[in-house]
């Protein structure tokens, strides 16, 4: 419950700060800069370095790749059919295609399925969601910044993403142990990511913009909270005999948009108002949709 309380307080603070003259319009940019250069690299250095990888980890970690792949085909397909603008399509891929599999996902998994499900959830988050964001996610966001494919520019954009260096460093140093004091510092700095991100999103959120994004917002949240779990349920249905693994994978696929991918979308000015709406409205709605999904899964209604 403390995680949900933190979500609400930080999001509410962002809405409140927007009304205070002490917080200028550039506030989200400053917060997002700290997240991308300090908070996220710290989490990468800690979790990727400590992560244990084996064959069984491929099942839960594959789910975010599947969802992102379907989101890319679906939303960029709508762009090709001229139903969506390019930046709108990319925004929806980065928000509806990546889920909040950790900060929101972990407490919901523990509530619905118990602590035993958290091992699978961590694998889905670290080897799945984060890796998707770090590679195809950042590449797509970088392309959207320029509106075209240019290899040299793309490489420069990707190399300008600080967490990439943290990822490489964490992989290269996996055989060495970090000092306990260093790990503690990384965790403390990493803990700032979600609070700062939610304050930033709350500050950015302008409910008046719903009128201009209503249909697209419904499309994005409909994919993330309803269609994605249906697709995952169908693909991973052969795993039904291992009910805990199967239910964990399906529930993780139904989580609200990812905080970090939303921050990157906003920072790179890819339909920022739509991105803040996807996160700000998606998180509270996901509490209800995941509850219904869990009820259906446990009652063998689906």
State the pLDDT confidence band at 157, using cuts at 50, 70 and 90.
Answer: low
Question: Is pLDDT of 252 > 90?
Answer: yes
Instruction: Indicate the burial class of 215 (C-beta count within 10 angstroms; 0-12, 13-18, 19 or more).
Output: exposed
Reported in sequence order, the residue ranges of the chain that DSSP labels E, i.e. its strands, are none
Q: Over the stretch 68-115, which tens digit does the pLDDT of each residue have?
A: 999 999 999 999 999 999 999 999 999 999 998 877 888 788 788 987
Q: Over the stretch 188-239, which tens digit does the pLDDT of each residue have?
A: 998 888 788 888 878 877 777 677 788 999 999 999 999 999 999 999 999 8
Q: Over the stretch 123-140, which tens digit does the pLDDT of each residue have?
A: 888 788 988 988 899 889
What pLDDT does 150 receive? 64
Nearest to 99 by CA among 246, 259, 233, 215: 259
Question: Is pLDDT of 176 > 80?
Answer: yes
Q: Higher pLDDT residue, 290 or 7?
A: 290
Mean pLDDT of 5-33: 87
What pLDDT does 300 receive? 64
What pLDDT does 1 receive? 63
State the pLDDT confidence band at 302, using cuts at 50, 70 and 90.
Answer: low
Q: Say how many C-beta atoms besides its own lie within 10 A of residue 24's C-beta.
A: 10
Least confident of 10-24, 39-53, 173-187, 213-227: 39-53
Phi-psi region of 73 (alpha: psi -120 to 50; beta: other; left: phi over 0): alpha
């Amino acid at each position: 419950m403390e995680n949900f309380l933190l979500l609400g307080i930080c999001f509410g603070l962002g809405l409140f700060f927007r009304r205070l003259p002490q917080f200028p319009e550039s506030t989200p940019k400053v917060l997002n800069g700290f997240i991308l250069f300090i908070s996220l690299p710290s989490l990468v250095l800690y979790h990727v370095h400590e992560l244990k990888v084996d064959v069984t980890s491929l099942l839960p970690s594959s789910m975010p790749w599947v969802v992102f792949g379907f989101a890319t085909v679906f939303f960029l397909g709508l762009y090709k059919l001229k139903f969506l603008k390019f930046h709108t399509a990319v925004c929806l891929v980065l928000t509806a295609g990546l889920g909040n599999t950790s900060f929101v996902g972990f407490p919901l998994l523990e509530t619905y399925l118990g602590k035993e499900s958290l091992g699978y959830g961590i694998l889905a988050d670290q080897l799945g969601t984060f890796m998707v964001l770090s590679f195809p996610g950042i590449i797509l966001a970088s392309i959207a910044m320029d509106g075209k494919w240019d290899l040299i520019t793309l490489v420069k954009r990707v190399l300008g993403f600080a967490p990439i260096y943290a990822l490489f460093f964490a992989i290269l140093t996996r055989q060495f142990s970090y000092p306990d004091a260093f790990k503690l510092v990384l965790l403390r700095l990493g803990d700032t990511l979600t609070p700062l991100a939610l304050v930033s999103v709350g500050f950015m959120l302008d409910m008046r913009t719903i009128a201009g994004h209503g249909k697209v917002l419904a499309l994005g949240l409909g994919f993330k909270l309803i269609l994605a779990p249906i697709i995952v349920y169908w693909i991973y249905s052969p795993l039904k005999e291992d009910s805990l693994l199967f239910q964990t994978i399906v529930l993780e696929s139904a989580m609200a948009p990812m905080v970090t991918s939303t921050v990157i979308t906003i920072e790179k000015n890819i339909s920022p108002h739509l991105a803040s709406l996807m996160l700000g409205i998606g998180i509270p709605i996901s509490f209800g949709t995941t509850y219904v999904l869990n009820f259906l899964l446990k009652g063998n209604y689906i």
